[in-house]
Amino acid sequence: MHRGPAVNVLIVDDNVDFCTSTADLLAVYGYRVAYCTDGQAALHYLRSHRRPRVILLDWLMPAMSGEQFLLELFADPRLECIPVIIVTGYHGARPAPPSPGRYPVLLKPVEIHNLLPVIETYIRPPQSS
């Protein structure tokens, strides 16, 4: 059982630089962030820790694509309710992310002032200390 505070945001992206820089920026705004660099590791994290409030998901990843990750996530009744925001470098290659109607889709490079309002639709902004 995970004893520390639950993270607000789980980043799932194979680009470590994106994960660390986004986690650092979100931490400045008071969010608790964890990241996994592949879909399998993220599923293991989700099954062994308290659920995050939202997942930032890369769409094009080796080994397990964002689409495959979503299929696994939504097949698990304990995890299917976690909101997902797709953050991708997809600019025309296949496979395309789902339509923005079901999942918000933000294209990389994403600016923090564009990311925060989307996260805040799922999580109230943390209180300043």
2 pLDDT band, cuts 50/70/90, is: very low
The answer, as to whether pTM is greater than 0.75, is yes
Mean pLDDT of 88-97: 63
Asked if 79 and 46 count as a contact pair (C-beta separation under 8 A), the reply is yes
The better pLDDT of the pair 10, 103 is held by 10
Nearest Cα to Cα of residue 46 among 60, 57, 30 = 57
Q: State which CATH number among 1.10.230.10, 1.20.1060.10, 3.40.50.2300, 3.40.630.10 fits the domain covering 9-120.
A: 3.40.50.2300
Six-digit token string for 24: 């650092």
For 25-46, the pLDDT digits (tens) are: 999 999 999 999 999 999 999 9
Q: Kindly list the domain boundaries of the chain, sorted by start residue.
A: 9-120
Mean pLDDT of 80-97: 76
Please give the Cα distance from 106 to 108 (Å, whole number).
7
